[in-house]
Amino acid sequence: MRHKILAAAGLAALTLAVPAHAVESPPSGIPPSEFATQYSGCLGQLRSLIAQGDFAGVGPFGQHFTGLVNPGAHQGTVGEEEFLEVVIGIPADELAAFCAQFARDKNEDRAAVVRGMSEVVVVTGSSSGIGRAVAQRFAREGACVIVNSSRSVEEGEALARSLPDAVYVQGDVSREEDAQRLVAAAVERFGRLDVVVNNAGTTKRVPFQDLEGADDELWQRIIGVNVMGPWYVSRAAVPALREVKGTIVNVGSVAGIVAGGSSLPYAVSKAALHHLTRTLAQALAPDVRVNAVAPGLVETPWSVGWEANEAVIGRTPLGRMAMPEDVADAVAFLARTPFATGEVFVLDGGLTLF
């Protein structure tokens, strides 16, 4: 990268010495109150390079500043007022293009640092089934993994022991304090958090027509785990994820897309999770990406012996149910695709084509 990443001087400090007429007409026509926020990192970096006479570091853009210092002479400082007066006179499109490139270079540097370190991944509900496959997938790729379950403690501990660098944290994500403790354990143990996979879920087989069977207790439990759990974990994780441009992947279901699934409360909970995915993606961009995978029928302990299995497979163009590893592949794909956010990726073997 050509730009030297130096401690950027805040533009708010620069504006203290700016003449009134300069502040009234900032680049791109943005209000003066937003000028410092939008351009501070870029212009602080630019001023540092110009002060050192590093015109090579800013390329042709440096021609605007040749009158401030002698090229190649390391002067060490550039007058704030003089610098900002030059900036005000630069065409808005040139300034925007330079700052956009600066942002891309900075992100590339950060990504290179991240690639040189092990990712830290929290996978909720990972003692069996989909969550287990997701934890194993990330671990094979060198990630540090936090395994979690609410009840299957022995299975969770055994999985953590089997992975190269993992720790087990027991907790019910429908309880906010447990969700916070799970995230805190990841940061305290590994010093960072890159990926959150909200996989923990619960259901009960109740025919849609059995309205009495979908009682308040069932609704509260399913919504608590399947919707509030991802919300609590995600909210607790956001500060750490922002630091590394991290990502959240929620495990939804085609039951949240079509009128089907193990129970009415379950279908509603997955539809809510899909919408939480989209709204969080909007709220957290550009710092944190949020996506979801929506599997169809998956071979897990939950689906064993379900009388509808054969009928569902019969309607699936690919002629089988998904394996947990299929879902893990999709989760890893979404976690590693830097331009994807707000997506609900349907993984159902073509079931919902008809």
Contact assessment for residue 55 and residue 23, using Cβ atoms and an 8 Å cutoff: no
Copy the structure tokens of residue 122.
């929290």
CA distance 241 to 140: 22
Contact assessment for residue 315 and residue 354, using Cβ atoms and an 8 Å cutoff: yes
Sign of CA dihedral 163, 125, 240, 136: positive
CA distance 326 to 330: 7
Integer distance in angstroms from the first to the last C-alpha of the chain? 50
Rounded to a whole number of angstroms, the CA Rg of the chain reads 26
Q: Give phi and psi for 219, each to the nearest 5.
A: -55, -50
**Dihedral over alpha carbons 276, 281, 287, 288 (to 10 degrees):** 60
Query: If DSSP codes are grouped into helix, strand and coil, which group holds residue 155?
Result: helix
Nearest to 43 by CA among 75, 81, 14: 14
Please identify every residue annotated as catalytic: 266
Query: If DSSP codes are grouped into helix, strand and coil, which group holds residue 119?
Result: coil
